[in-house]
Amino acid sequence: MTTRLPDFLVIGAARAGTTALHGFLRQHPGIFMPARKEPNFFAYEGEELACEGPGADYINNSIVDPSAYSALFAEAPADARLGEASPLYLYSERAPGRIKHHIPGAKMIVILRNPVDQAYSHFMYATKQCIENVSDFDKALTLERMRLDQGWQPLFGYSQFPRYGEQLARYFELFPRDQFLIKRYEDYQADPDAFLRAVYEFIGVDPDFVPTKSDKVNAGGVPKNQAFQDFLMKPNPVTKAVGLVVPQETRLKIRDWMARKNMNAPETLSSNARAMLLERLSDDIRALETLLDWDLSAWMR
Q: Strand 107-112 relative to strand 81-85: parallel, antiparallel, unpaired? A: unpaired
Q: Which of 181, 133, 167, 135 lies closest to 281 in space, CA to CA? A: 167
Average pLDDT taken over every residue of the chain: 89
3.40.50.1100, 3.40.50.300, 3.30.565.10, 1.10.10.10: CATH of 8-221+265-300: 3.40.50.300
What is the pLDDT confidence band of residue 16, given thresholds at 50, 70 and 90? very high
Q: Strand 31-32 relative to strand 8-12: parallel, antiparallel, unpaired? A: unpaired
pLDDT in tens, 129-176: 999 999 999 999 999 999 999 999 999 999 999 999 999 999 999 999
For residue 249, what pLDDT is reported? Answer: 56
What is the pLDDT confidence band of residue 1, given thresholds at 50, 70 and 90? very low
The rounded distance, in Å, linking the Cα atoms of 28 and 229 is 33
Average pLDDT (238-257) is 57
For residue 117, what pLDDT is reported? Answer: 97
Cα(first)–Cα(last) distance of the chain, in Å? 54
- Is the model more confident about 140 or about 235? 140
Among 24-38, 98-112, 146-160, 231-245, the least confident range: 231-245
For residue 213, what pLDDT is reported? Answer: 84
pLDDT in tens, 165-209: 999 999 999 999 999 999 999 999 999 999 999 999 999 999 999
What is the pLDDT confidence band of residue 225, given thresholds at 50, 70 and 90? low
What is the pLDDT confidence band of residue 3, given thresholds at 50, 70 and 90? confident
- Is the model more confident about 66 or about 232? 66
For residue 267, what pLDDT is reported? Answer: 72
Q: Which of 263, 168, 183 lies closest to 225 in space, CA to CA? A: 263
ω into 194 cis (within 30 of 0)? no
Domain ranges of the chain: 8-221+265-300
